Amino acid sequence: MKAKRLAALALTVLMMLSLLTLPAAAVSFTDMTDHWAKEDVEYLATQGIVKGTSSTTFSPDRKMTACEALLFCSRATGVSATDKAKIAEDWAEELKTLLPEEMYSWAAEEMAVCLETGILSRTELKAMADSGSLAKAITRETLSMYLVRAMQLEPLARGLSSYSMNFEDASSISQALQPYVYLLNMYGIVQGNQSNQFMPQGSLTRAEMATMLRRAIDFMDDRGIYAELPAYTTYDWVGGTIAAVSAGTNGVTLLTLESNLSGTRSVSLPATVAVYENNMLSTTSALKVGQYARVNLNSSGTAESVRLGGVLTTYNGTPTSVTADNITLSVEGSVKSLDIDRFTEVQVGKTVGGPELIDPQSGYTSAVCQVDSQGHLSTLQLSGGTRAAGGILTAVESTSGGQSLQVCAFNGETQRYTLPTGAGVTINGVAGTLTSSNVGDYVSLRVSNESTGQLASIAVDTVTQYVQGSVKSFTYSRTVNEITLSDLATGKSTTYDIDPNAVIRYNGQNIVLEKLEKNAFVTLQISSGKAVLVDSYPSSTTTEGVIDSITYGTPTILAVRTAGDSVVTFELDLTALPTIYRNGKASSIDQLRSGDQVVVTVRYNTVTTLETTPQSANVTGTITRVVQDTSGITIDVTLTDGTSASYSVADGVSVTQDGTAVSLYNLKPNDQVAMVVSGESVVSIEVTQGTSTGSQLTGTVLVANNNDKTLMLQLENGTVLTADVSGAQFIGADGSSVYLSKLVAGDRVQLFGSYSGAKFVATLVLKL
């Protein structure tokens, strides 16, 4: 770590040579001859960490102002010159409002480092600037707090419960600052005077500050301490509470981490891994079950370091303010503010990711925060509220509870939403009513985080003109550039002029026009007859995940749960189904099951291919009891190992027998089942052997599978099942002959036959 710091300081020295009159290897000051701090001052000056008051003098006995002390502290952090420049740029505008004008030119860069590394907060800097204390002498006890923060040891100071000191004037040290003084004294960075006094309210000289600074830097180098800056790092990481630690071969340590958001993960730690406890280098012996750990990974995915965060503390509250970098919440009547960074795992609704998921406009109703002993927000779970979505309205239909909308986003994905009766609707900013006349208009949506596809509000823009289609051709490097779109619905082509100042984007990134791809899906914003926005995406996209549910109807909705636990829906037209594969072989939609692994390929808004792989059953047994209530079905199962378990099975879960769909509500005691269970959720059920009973069915044809001799039906109660019609006779209501191959989606039929377990075997099919 020392090499890292010296490399960073070398860059700093190069930037500061104009301020020194001597080469960096031989800095000396005329007023330091025979001074007790000569060695420390001139060493730090050589490293570019401290500067003189002139080219030849250091002024060792001059009192340190608070501003000067803070700048000295910033140089202990080990921040590189490159990062320092970036930090200064990022904080520049805010510092112009915080720092006195006369200080900004020479103090802004290092004051930015102070803010970024936590040496002081915005509030503290503003208070100091407003009171004028930045230009006043700093007390020794106050300097102790800033120096401990610079050394990244404040969490350790805050966690101390005992910090007795033997200074003669220890009782004079402010209670709140005693832990900071204690740490510096314990680590040999501050000492008492000849009378063993700390003199907490006394000022300190530049020489004293330099000596303390060198001791602090030497201690940090020895313990491997440096300021880790989340916003200026890019490496991957995984985090969680340590559930198990075991030794592998060749010095490898096997670490099992559990996160209440992302589940359980195992990480192999090589013998060379650096382990940090209290921000100081430790060993793998510090890895204890129950502690939070963040593992930093290199570009190859190998663990480079582990940062321990102690035991997590959980706070449940109501958010009063949420941004991408901070949350303020009310917890049992008190207000708590927590910073969010890229090392914070975030869950919004059912989606897990990072701070990019946070929508400040969402209006979240509750938050669960887990904070480690370092004060870092490790996990943040936000519930309630809404998320933003938008696109071109392509369909509006009235339903019993409101309206059903279809919206095509700019990336070509088509989503269906429910607009409940009473939800807010504005047309060009004025309260209004959504009608089919708004098809083709741009809509901004607020979608519930808790109810898939349900809208809280919709804003319609009827003024701005948008057009969607595929790029047929375009011209560039002309006086007037043009783009020709092929309308996906009609196939007609239209050419538009491109405004010289138009924004051109591909897959979310700004590009030049000549980089636009032919056949890409594109949305144009038209103003005065010219395209002022050309927003394009690949013509073909794929989504990987697990089939969450299949809701049959017009259209049929396929819901896929992705790796991030978000649910994406796709519309399927049963009269023009995509190509379907199951286990690499051609299949049909009636063979799909919730729980199947799936890759969905979409081209120009239309699902073209479904490639599925079924999951293997992980629970088998015999049903002993079936209870039906408003939430679905609860089944009690005697498992093959002799134990019993109870499972709640929600509507939409695939239930099959002999590979064909049967009704969830036809499950009966004594049915033998093989189930895919994830956590407490039943993903799918296969009836391996069941009881028999006679019956007849009436419903609507969804899929007539002539190859497998089956009919997938939606019964009058909404249940979907697949009937075996391989031995059935087909007749029409008038007695005429009917053929399976002639039945199509939407035909009404009545089936006569019997159940074999939960599977219906028809002997007669009557087309109504």
pLDDT in tens, 663-695: 777 788 778 888 888 766 788 888 887 665 557
Return the HEC string of 270-281. Answer: CCCCEEEECCEE
Nearest to 489 by CA among 464, 520, 468: 468
Q: What's the mean pLDDT in 469-477?
A: 91
Q: CB neighbours (10 Å) of residue 608?
A: 12
Q: What's the mean pLDDT in 271-278?
A: 96
Q: Which pLDDT belongs to residue 341?
A: 96
Q: What's the mean pLDDT in 28-49?
A: 92
Q: Which pLDDT belongs to residue 758?
A: 64
Where is average pLDDT lowest: 187-196, 551-560, 704-713? 551-560
The model's confidence at residue 47, banded by pLDDT at 50, 70 and 90, is confident
Between the CA atoms of 117, 119, 123 and 129, what dihedral angle is there, to the nearest 10 degrees?
-120
For residue 468 the two structure tokens come to: 């969607």
Nearest to 37 by CA among 47, 25, 29: 29
Q: What's the mean pLDDT in 552-563?
A: 82
Give the angle 511-512-516 at the CA atoms, nearest 5°: 80
Which residues, in sequence order, are CB contacts of 249 under 8 Å at separation 6+? Answer: none
Q: Is the pLDDT of residue 20 over 50?
A: no
Q: CB neighbours (10 Å) of residue 698?
A: 13
Q: CB neighbours (10 Å) of residue 555?
A: 17
For residue 342 the two structure tokens come to: 């890229």
Q: Which pLDDT belongs to residue 620?
A: 87
Please give the domain boundaries of the chain with CATH numbers for all domains: 2-138+203-223 (no CATH), 233-310 (2.40.50.140), 313-383 (2.40.50), 386-461 (2.40.50.140), 465-537 (2.40.50), 540-613 (2.40.50), 619-689 (2.40.50), 692-767 (2.40.50.140)
Name the residue with higher pLDDT: 324 or 10: 324
Q: What's the mean pLDDT in 697-708?
A: 87
Q: Which pLDDT belongs to residue 310?
A: 95
Distance separating alpha carbons of residues 225 and 189, to the nearest angstrom: 15
Where is average pLDDT lowest: 7-11, 629-633, 717-721? 7-11
| Residue 407 amino acid letter | V
Q: What's the mean pLDDT in 714-738?
A: 83
Q: Which pLDDT belongs to residue 8?
A: 42
| Residue 63 amino acid letter | K
Q: What's the mean pLDDT in 582-586?
A: 86
Q: Which pLDDT belongs to residue 693?
A: 59
Phi, psi angles (nearest 5°) of residue 62: -75, 140
The model's confidence at residue 26, banded by pLDDT at 50, 70 and 90, is low
Q: Is the pLDDT of residue 133 over 80?
A: yes
Contact assessment for residue 395 and residue 439, using Cβ atoms and an 8 Å cutoff: yes
Q: What's the mean pLDDT in 239-246?
A: 96
Nearest to 115 by CA among 135, 131, 132, 92: 92
Residue with tokens 């109703």: 365
Q: Which pLDDT belongs to residue 25?
A: 54
For residue 729 the two structure tokens come to: 């006779």
Q: Which one of 460-469, 638-647, 725-734 scores highest in mean pLDDT?
A: 460-469
The model's confidence at residue 184, banded by pLDDT at 50, 70 and 90, is very high
Alpha helices in 17-139 (DSSP H): 38-46, 66-74, 81-98, 101-117, 122-131
Cα radius of gyration rounded to whole Å, the chain? 34
Which residues, in sequence order, are CB contacts of 755 under 8 Å at separation 6+? Answer: 666, 690, 691, 692, 693, 694, 695, 761
Phi, psi angles (nearest 5°) of residue 8: -65, -40
The model's confidence at residue 564, banded by pLDDT at 50, 70 and 90, is low
Q: What's the mean pLDDT in 611-628?
A: 84
pLDDT tens column, 488-539:
777 899 999 999 999 999 999 999 999 999 999 999 999 999 999 999 999 8
Q: Is the pLDDT of residue 705 over 70?
A: yes
pLDDT tens column, 283-334:
999 999 999 999 999 999 999 999 999 999 999 999 999 999 999 999 998 9
Contact assessment for residue 461 and residue 443, using Cβ atoms and an 8 Å cutoff: yes
Determine if residue 34 is left, alpha or beta; phi over 0 gives left, psi from -120 to 50 gives alpha, anything else beta.
Answer: left
For residue 83 the two structure tokens come to: 């990062």
pLDDT above 90 covers a percentage of the chain that reads 60
Q: What's the mean pLDDT in 73-80?
A: 92
Contact assessment for residue 562 and residue 353, using Cβ atoms and an 8 Å cutoff: no
The model's confidence at residue 723, banded by pLDDT at 50, 70 and 90, is confident
Q: What's the mean pLDDT in 30-55?
A: 92
| Residue 531 amino acid letter | A
Expressed in percent and rounded to 5, the helix, strand and coil fractions of the chain are 20, 45, 35
Q: Which pLDDT belongs to residue 445?
A: 95
| Residue 746 amino acid letter | G
Name the residue with higher pLDDT: 735 or 741: 741
Contact assessment for residue 44 and residue 214, using Cβ atoms and an 8 Å cutoff: yes
pLDDT above 70 covers a percentage of the chain that reads 94
What rounded mean pLDDT belongs to the chain? 88
Q: What's the mean pLDDT in 537-559?
A: 85
Distance separating alpha carbons of residues 758 and 746, to the nearest angstrom: 24
pLDDT tens column, 745-765:
889 999 888 877 667 888 889
Contact assessment for residue 217 and residue 49, using Cβ atoms and an 8 Å cutoff: yes
Q: Is the pLDDT of residue 653 over 90?
A: no
Q: Is the pLDDT of residue 721 over 50?
A: yes
Q: Report the SS3 class of residue 746.
A: coil
